[in-house]
Amino acid sequence: MSFRTSHRSEIAIKFLSIVLLMIYQSVASSLLFSQTSQTTSTYFGLRAIDQDTGGGIPLVRFKTTSNIALWSDSQGYAAFNEPGLMNTEVYFEADSPGYEAVADGFGFRGVRVTPQAGKIAEVRLKRNNLAERIGRVTGQGIFRDSELLGIAVPRNSNSLQAGVTGSDSVQMVPYRGRLFWLWGDTNFANYPLGNFHVTAATSPLPRSDSFPNVNDIALEYFTDSSTGRAKKMLPTTTPGAVWLFGMVNLKEGEAETLVGHYSRHLRLGEMVEHGIATFDDATQQFQIQATFELSNKWQIPSGQAFRHQDSDGDFVYFADPFPVTRVPARLEAFCDPQQYQAFAWDSSTQAYHWQSTEPPIRQADEKIRVASRKMPSTSARFQVIDRDTSRPVMIHRASINWNDYRHCWIMIGCESNPSGVPSHLGEIWYAEAPELTGPWTSATKIATHPGYSFYNPRHHTVWDQADGRYIYFEGTYTQTFSGNQAATPRYEYNQLLYRLDLATIAAGKTDDR
């Protein structure tokens, strides 16, 4: 073959490759998006759609080649009106934690559209998470882009409620015919220093026929009458931030008592006061009932609480992250450090038991004991591993509850991963155990938040559906502890709600997740 013939063949192959690539890009683009509707808005809209469920996807970033970034709201909409980029073809990169767009021949994941005022294009993404992101529960502008596009938003939605722009670490329990919500440090719109003495709200109980989503959560904050902003639910005259965890409703017949563990901190990790507080219906605030000695290190009802009665009695257990601390489900017991019990290892009997003198065994403690052969590996209760890779998973915070659908105890837990790959505190796992104390062994990753944190997850059992097949959980989405210097607008330091179909766990449908 002559050089000229060979050269012509190479040109023909390259030309054919380019044609095929253009066809591929065209097909991929047509699969990815479609023009769907038109409004009277001056904005152009992109709507991220879960290709499996058809639901809108919150927290999808659309970014132009000039690095203009938009984030989809809780209905999946992103509004765009950029001078110079309207009525001309624009490329939008599309990405979201746990979701991905179709890649073109060059590996780019996005869509080319021509933004026009009043038009909306749907962008379909593949969900790699097992859990489906439902929406944002707290903060400003939950439906911001829907409003800009003239899309209907929930009747009870507000662009800014009680001045709150950020809420840390959720607790929620039914109380007196409503849902009672509690958060920690709270950001306000009017100044960086917001409320650091507990924020709370209530909302209606869920309807039995409703699909839980952000539309159903009509929060009514407890507010300061003079400012209209969320008020301090546990005010103190001494300095420091006040937190309240382990909240539970000690319901006995018609009587209901909302109780939790409060702590005051001068700096993160430096607790200077702690004890028990209850909610006072008359003052609409929490009142301190008992103050504990700082030496009471483990007699603390922290983490996510749940109540359970069995042959041992009626107890409230505290998952922090595993339920290794408990107290009788009575207010006087809550206020008495001597009545707290810890799940500890007895080296003489080589067995776990509940007792009141020694601190509980934690996951890291147990790992050391097994490694040093002070505990048989067969006796371990908290050595969680990745079901797919057998890699150890260290749980940072968790929510644990009984599940009727799976006929076992289930855990939604946040991993502590010092490597930071793909995140330090953003990977969420699901695990099962025959007893609430374990053994907790195999876990499946259900959600990822690369380069970000998603901590203190809470499984809301009041929203369980189909005997617990469908469960809902939320957590704090924040750059804190992540090392990420770029905060996500409006979503930063707020609560994200997810839905999980446990049938996918039972069937082992992990795919490439």
Query: pLDDT for 400-410, tens place per residue?
Result: 999 999 999 99
- Considering the domain architecture, whether residues 213 and 74 belong to the same structural domain is answered as no
| Residue 509 to residues 38, 97, 413, Cα–Cα distance (Å) | 38, 19, 19
CATH code: domain of residue 123: 2.60.40.1120
Last residue of a domain, one of 302, 322, 347: 302
> Do 332 and 290 reside in the same domain of the chain?
no
Torsion of CA 68, 143, 32, 452, to 10 degrees: 60
Q: Are residues 316 and 298 in the same domain?
A: no
Q: How far apart are the first and last CA of the chain?
A: 50
Whether residue 320 is found in the same domain as residue 285: no
In a domain, 144, yes or no: no
Rounded to the nearest 10 degrees, how much is the dihedral formed by the CA atoms of 457, 216, 279, 324? Answer: -20
Question: What is the domain count for the chain?
Answer: 3
CA dist., res. 48 & res. 43, Å (int):
16
Asked whether residue 135 is domain-assigned, the answer is no
**Residue 93 and residue 178 in one domain:** no
Do residues 192 and 493 lie in contact, with contact meaning Cβ atoms separated by under 8 Å? Answer: no
pLDDT of residue 16: 47
Residue pair 482/451 in contact (Cβ under 8 Å)? The answer is yes
Q: Strand 119-127 relative to strand 44-50: parallel, antiparallel, unpaired? A: parallel
Residue at a domain's end among 262, 277, 302: 302
Do 119 and 219 lie in a common domain? no
Which residues span the domain enclosing 64? 3-130
Same structural domain, 79 and 20: yes
Do residues 291 and 329 share a domain?
no
Residues 280 and 368 both lie in one domain: no
- Please, are residues 82 and 65 in contact by the beta-carbon 8 Å criterion? no
**Whole-number pLDDT of residue 507:** 65
Domain end call among 130, 149, 172:
130
Amino acid, single-letter form, for residue 74: S
- Give yes or no: residues 232 and 364 share one domain: no
pLDDT for res 27:
42
Ranges under pLDDT 50 in the chain: 3, 13, 15-31, 510-513
pLDDT of residue 251: 94
Q: Looking at 213-269, which runs of residues are DSSP E strands?
A: 220-221, 241-249, 258-267
* pLDDT value, residue 13: 47
Instruction: Tell me if 281 is assigned to some domain.
Output: yes
Q: Is residue 251 part of a domain?
A: yes
User: Which distant-in-sequence residues (6+ apart) come within 8 Å of 337 by Cβ?
Assistant: 292, 293, 296, 299
Residue 23 lies in a domain: yes
- Pair of tokens at residue 119: 């038009």
86 shares a domain with 166: no
In a domain, 241, yes or no: yes
Same domain flag for 347 and 411: yes
pLDDT of residue 217: 85
Residue 125 has what pLDDT?
Answer: 98
